[in-house]
Structure formats: C-alpha cells, structure tokens
Chain A
Amino acid sequence: MNRVVVTGMGALTPIGNSVSEYWNNAVKGVNGIDYITKFDTSDVKYKFAGELKNVDFTKVIEKGQLRKMDPFTQYALYAADEAVKDSDILGNVDDTRFGVYFGTGVGGFDTFCADHSTLLEKGARRVSPLFIPKMIVNIAAGNIAIKYKAHGVNMSVSTACATGSTAIGEAYRAIKHGYADAIICGGSEATINPLAAAGFGNMKALSTAETRETASIPFDKRRSGFVLGEGGAALILEEYEHAKARGAKIYAEVAGYGSTCDAFHITSPDPDAIYTANAVREAMKDLPAVDADKIYINAHGTSTHLNDLTETMTFKNVFGEDAYKLHISSTKSMTGHMLGAAGAIEAITAINALRTGIVPPTINYVEPDEECDLNYTPNTAVETPIELALSTNLGFGGHNACLAFTAVK
C-alpha cells in the first residue's frame, strides 16, 4: 500500500479567498455570515448566509470562459488554482497518473433555475445549448482536468454535505491502491439562491435567527438550524515517495478515511450514532493510540439540533470518557455551511490545526446545551499540540465520512 500526503491546498470561503486569509480569519474567529444579498428575503424567515466577498474570477478563468461556467465550477477552479500552484505539481507528474476527484452537493443550481425560467417564458428553442454542460454535477471535475491536462482517474462525488470529505477520502484510496500518483480533490458549492433556500427552509433546516451573531451557533442550546455558505476548497494528494522524490513541501499525511451510511432516514441522522461512530473508528483503525487531549476534531457542527447532538454522541461512542478531553470545534460558526465544499475546507482546517498547534474556535457560543457537553473550543482559539486531526461530515441520505491527518513520520 502506498502512503498518501497532502502537498497543496486552495480555498475560497466566506472568510477568505486563499488558504492563508481563511486560516488567519478562522483563528481570529471572524464571522463570515451576514444578511443575504443574492436574493430578496423580505418574505422568508431565513435572512443570513455566508456569501463570498470580492472575488475576481478573471484571475484564474478567461473572461470568455466565465459565462460557460456555473458559479460552482468557477469556485472549484479558483480553489484548484491555488492548490495546484501551491503544490508545484504541474510538469512534475506523469499526466496519465494525474487525476481529479471533485464533488458538489447539487451542481449548477443557478443555471438550472435560469434555464428553466427561459423554458417557461420563451420556449424550448431559447434554452441555452450550454445548459447541460454548465449544470451537470461532474463538470467542475471535467473543467479542472481540462485546465491542467490531468488525463488520469477522474470522478465526481456527491454525498450531500459529506461530499468534500468523500472526494478526498476516495482520492486517498485511489493513490493508496496505486491508481494515480497525484489527485486534485475537494468540493465546491453555489446554492445561495432562492429555490435552494426555500427547499432547505421549508424542511426547517435553516436558521431563522434574527441576528448574525445567533445564526450559525453550533452546539449552543439556542441553535435553530444551519446557515447556507458557499465556496470551494481543493487539496493536492500525492503518493509519498513521489512527493519526496521531487522535493515537494508536505503539509500532512492522510492517515485514514472512514465511509459509512446510516441507512436510516433521508434527512435525520441515526439517533444512536452507531454508523457515524463507525466512520470515525474506520478512519483511525491503522493508527497508533493518541492521547485524546492531543486530538483535534473539526466537527460537521451544522448548528441544527439533531446534527450537533448526534455528533456529540458519536464522539462519546468512539472515545468514551476520553471524549471530554478532545479538542473539538465547528468552523461553520464562521463560514456557514458550505455543503459540498464543507468537507474540503474543513480538511484544510484540520491540517492547519495539526501543523500549527492552533485549534480554531466555535464562535458565538453562549449558552451550553446539557446534551452537548464536550469541549467545543468556545469563542477563542486554543494553542495546544495536536498529533491527530480528524474531520467529520454527515450528509442527507445518511452519508458519513471521516478523514484522519497526522504529521509525516
């Protein structure tokens, strides 16, 4: 089996348009959530989102190409560009052994809405020939491959809110088992639009809080739902010997991956948290024991009642009494829920916590919930040595994914 390491990272988030800007703001506890500007919310109760700010996509995508891409593809390319440059992988890998595993929860939601309106208002003859190749879920992966001439394994993953983690985990397995030398992997999402919000809102999944400080409040007793975020994040995973031979900068080793399904309900997590716990155990199964106070978990922590409760139970199922020693936080308190991109940005967060020994906080945490009684790193970052960093994500459909990162030894 090959060892797999991380040699590049890229991020486009509501609190930063690069990994360094994102990380600095995450450590500071910057709130990226504010009133929705992308559509009129006067008739609805959900008022907040984590929108991207001041992004110049022409820095990475030719002007003529922009209109051919849904925002979810633009976000993916933006994040991939930083990761690829960061890794210096171009020209240093056999292009037939260079792959892309990139996911999204939904794909081109804005495109779908716009062309459907055209169909109703102007008829079938006016629907854009670009509709399909802008909207389909796999087109971000396709566009990334075109840009970097990555002719190897290529796949799009969609496991709802677990997408980013699943994409990275499957890329890890592909390199581990020898199907590629390097893979650009991650996820992106662009669903801050009125139809997506109405769907999430009407299932009572979105926060109806009245202030930005109370909108995304994972593990806090007052939590009422998640806040839509958007963006993209990308990692370059590379076979260890390949990375070493070319003198690549190595951020961390991918030390494990767990993937399970609750097979319980379309949107509610299994209340006993058995299979979420199995995903965490699977991710750690080849690792030597690490003291719980040296473990950081970037939790899914969506700020919905059920998710945060289930995750708390998950960590207790896996770690028992030691769960109280874990360092846990939910960066969704700052970014909102980036859906298909969440697992990817949170993997980067876990890796940076491991490298720097800084655990970013769960911000806006005020009222403890007696059922969620672990250490969620409230409000202020904590400096503490971390030997194992985990990132967990749960998706509608019952998908559970957990990634494990360690320093290379």
Chain B
Amino acid sequence: MVFEKIAELIAEKIDMDASEIKAETTLEDLGIDSLDVTEIAMDIESEFDIEFEADASMKTVADIVAAVEKKVG
C-alpha cells in the first residue's frame, strides 16, 4: 500500500509510468537527484500526513518505503 502510493508520487514527479517502478529500483536508475528526492519527500509528507526527511542513505524505492512505514506505523 505504502509502496504503491510512493511509486505513484515518484512516477507523477518524473513523468513516467508507475508500473515501471519496482521496490529494488534505485533512485539513480530513475535519474532522480537530491533536489528531486527533497521534493518527493514533501509530497510524502502531504500524502501520509507525517514529518519526513529524505537522507543520503536512501538508495532505492524500498529504502524510502521502509522509512515511511516506520513513521506510519
């Protein structure tokens, strides 16, 4: 559920098809830089109503999903 939502947010941001985004897909593969990640983190905050900051340790979509799931509980 969290994964699907985040994949959707990323897909919308970089104008691609969400079905092409897998858990193990790296941010580098998606051509996402640190500014994009910060923007996506803002979208995540709005979507899940949490405080969320991305950090450099997040390399894959799964990393982001795991961090969000921790907050959402």
* A residues lining the B interface (CB < 8 Å): 63-64, 67-68, 125-126, 128-130, 133
Q: Does B14 interact with chain A (Cβ within 8 Å)?
A: yes
Q: A126-B46, A130-B35, A133-B35 are in contact. List 6 more A-B contacts (CB 8 A).
A: A63-B15, A64-B14, A64-B16, A67-B15, A68-B35, A129-B38
Instruction: Give A125 to B53 CA distance when docked, in angstroms.
Output: 11
For the complex, count residues of B whose C-beta is within 8 A of A: 11
Q: Does B47 interact with chain A (Cβ within 8 Å)?
A: no
Q: For A126, list chain B residues within 8 Å (CB).
A: 42, 46
In residues 1-56 of chain B, which contact A (Cβ within 8 Å)?
Answer: 13-16, 31, 35, 38-39, 42, 45-46
Q: For B15, list chain A residues within 8 Å (CB).
A: 63-64, 67
- Report the nearest B residue to A127, measured CB to CB: B42
Contact present for A125 and B42 (CB under 8 Å): yes
Contact present for B39 and A128 (CB under 8 Å): yes
Shortest C-beta distance, B24 to chain A (Å), equals 21
Shortest C-beta distance, A128 to chain B (Å), equals 6
Shortest C-beta distance, A132 to chain B (Å), equals 10
Instruction: Give A133 to B45 CA distance when docked, in angstroms.
Output: 22
* B residues lining the A interface (CB < 8 Å): 13-16, 31, 35, 38-39, 42, 45-46
Interface centre among B14, B31, B42 (most CB of A within 10 A): B42
Instruction: Give A67 to B38 CA distance when docked, in angstroms.
Output: 15
Q: For B14, list chain A residues within 8 Å (CB).
A: 64
Contact present for A64 and B31 (CB under 8 Å): yes
The B interface is mostly helix, strand or loop, or mixed, namely: helix
Q: With A63-B15, A64-B15 in contact, do A129 and B31 touch (Cβ < 8 Å)?
A: no
Q: List 20 A-B contacts (CB under 8 A).
A: A63-B15, A64-B14, A64-B15, A64-B16, A64-B31, A67-B13, A67-B15, A68-B35, A125-B42, A125-B45, A126-B42, A126-B46, A128-B39, A128-B42, A129-B35, A129-B38, A129-B39, A130-B35, A130-B39, A133-B35
Interface centre among A64, A126, A130 (most CB of B within 10 A): A64
Instruction: Give A99 to B53 CA distance when docked, in angstroms.
Output: 38
Instruction: Give A225 to B39 CA distance when docked, in angstroms.
Output: 41
Q: For B16, list chain A residues within 8 Å (CB).
A: 64
Q: For A64, list chain B residues within 8 Å (CB).
A: 14-16, 31
Instruction: Give A133 to B14 CA distance when docked, in angstroms.
Output: 17
Shortest Cβ-Cβ A-B pairs, 4 listed? A129-B38, A129-B35, A63-B15, A64-B14
Instruction: Give A128 to B16 CA distance when docked, in angstroms.
Output: 20
Q: For A125, list chain B residues within 8 Å (CB).
A: 42, 45
- Report the nearest A residue to B31, measured CB to CB: A64
Q: For A130, list chain B residues within 8 Å (CB).
A: 35, 39
- Report the nearest A residue to B30, measured CB to CB: A64
Instruction: Give A67 to B36 CA distance when docked, in angstroms.
Output: 11
Shortest C-beta distance, A238 to chain B (Å), equals 33
Q: For A68, list chain B residues within 8 Å (CB).
A: 35
- Report the nearest B residue to A122, measured CB to CB: B46
Instruction: Give A367 to B14 CA distance when docked, in angstroms.
Output: 53
Q: For A63, list chain B residues within 8 Å (CB).
A: 15
Instruction: Give A17 to B39 CA distance when docked, in angstroms.
Output: 32
Instruction: Give A63 to B17 CA distance when docked, in angstroms.
Output: 13
Instruction: Give A63 to B11 CA distance when docked, in angstroms.
Output: 12
Instruction: Give A299 to B46 CA distance when docked, in angstroms.
Output: 52
Shortest C-beta distance, A118 to chain B (Å), equals 10
Instruction: Give A101 to B71 CA distance when docked, in angstroms.
Output: 48
Shortest C-beta distance, A82 to chain B (Å), equals 24
- Report the nearest B residue to A129, measured CB to CB: B38
Instruction: Give A367 to B45 CA distance when docked, in angstroms.
Output: 61
Instruction: Give A128 to B15 CA distance when docked, in angstroms.
Output: 17
Shortest C-beta distance, A392 to chain B (Å), equals 41
Q: For A128, list chain B residues within 8 Å (CB).
A: 39, 42
Instruction: Give A129 to B37 CA distance when docked, in angstroms.
Output: 9
Shortest C-beta distance, A402 to chain B (Å), equals 41
